[in-house]
Structure 1
Amino acid sequence: MSMAPGDTLTSHNFGLQIDGVMVEYLKKVEVLSFQQDVIEYQQVSATGQPKVSKMPGVQKAGECTVVRGMTHSSAFTEWIKESIEGRMSTARKNATILVMDPESNPVKRYNLRNAWCCKIDASSVEAGAASALTETVTITYEELVIE
């Protein structure tokens, strides 16, 4: 089923690539943010009227939080491990959050440059419970590029 003009994407089909390789389909992506300084300057126009202008300043680094099912995804687990152990020469990677259409074709990319995992929370475990185990991972990055 292809999308008709004007259709909006749904939020149920997305995944994570690390260095261009799909490593994980995610349960949830939270707080994917971008922030940029705003430079405001004032000047006087040729007619002597005050004029205020704004222009973009420096981009700021960001963070996002992803929730994944606790799986045997060795690539994602190794990335987390490299970050925890402080091996930054290999922990900094380019990651991409992919949003896909109903036919699993990528239609939007959030490219996270020089990303690494800075926090991990594992879900609670309980004897006799019938629930999926998840990991919540906070990813910090130096630059966000949206395609």
Structure 2
Amino acid sequence: MSLQPGDALTSHNFGLQIDGVMVEYLQEVSGLSIEQDVIEYQQVSANGKPVTKKLPGVKKAGECTVTRGMTSSAAFTQWINNSISGNMGSARKNASIIMMDYQNAPVKRYNLRNAWCSKVEAGGVKAGDASALTEQVTIVFEELVIE
């Protein structure tokens, strides 16, 4: 690994892999989150003192948002279309958000199990504007495993 002790990863070197295929162009990945319920359990000890414990509860599914340049990527567009049309047999895929060092070596992976697109939002268009057209895709997933 090319990171030295004390080095941190940079935020500009990342990738999204869907069923082993890297998505060609990405601008941003944001909001990667997953939650777990917390159970608060109260009881009284043998000497009569109240004791409060916090226990892990049920894991909730997570989501993240991917912003990408609007390209002609047929694979990514097909995945979005399968999700939006409800074709869940083809839409549920395993995806990974990969953080890389400055030599493009993978350092950390966020593996998303049974991921699919729940929302697509196209960037605004405006006559005379010279900016790139983007789309935001909200990806939901059932489980997150961090490597």
TM category, shorter: over 0.9
2:86 alignment partner, SS class: coil
CA distance in 2, matches of 1:58, 1:88: 24
Aligned to 2:93: 93
Instruction: Give the superposition deviation at 1:103.
Output: 0.7
Aligned to 2:113: 113
CA distance in 1, matches of 2:62, 2:2: 33
% identical equivalent positions = 71
TM-score (normalizing by structure 2): 0.92
Aligned to 1:143: 143
TM-score (normalizing by structure 1): 0.92
2:104 matches 1:104: yes
- Cα 1:47/1:24, change in 2 over 3 Å: farther
CA distance in 2, matches of 1:20, 1:45: 52
Instruction: Give the superposition deviation at 1:60.
Output: 0.3
Instruction: Give the superposition deviation at 1:125.
Output: 2.3
Residue identity in the other structure for 2:136: T
Aligned to 2:69: 69
Aligned to 2:38: 38
Instruction: Give the superposition deviation at 1:28.
Output: 0.6
CA distance in 1, matches of 2:120, 2:61: 19
1:38 alignment partner, SS class: strand
Root-mean-square deviation (Å):
1.5
Instruction: Give the superposition deviation at 1:26.
Output: 1.6
CA distance in 2, matches of 1:31, 1:104: 23
Tell me if the contact between 1:98 and 1:110 (Cα under 8 Å) persists in the aligned partners: yes
Q: How many aligned positions are there?
A: 147
Structure 1: where are the runs of 5+ without partners? none
Instruction: Give the superposition deviation at 1:140.
Output: 0.9
Instruction: Give the superposition deviation at 1:24.
Output: 3.2
CA distance in 2, matches of 1:72, 1:104: 25
CA distance in 1, matches of 2:20, 2:56: 30
Tell me if the contact between 1:14 and 1:25 (Cα under 8 Å) persists in the aligned partners: no
2:112 alignment partner, SS class: strand
Q: Deviations over 1:37-56 (max 9, x none)?
A: 00111122233322111111
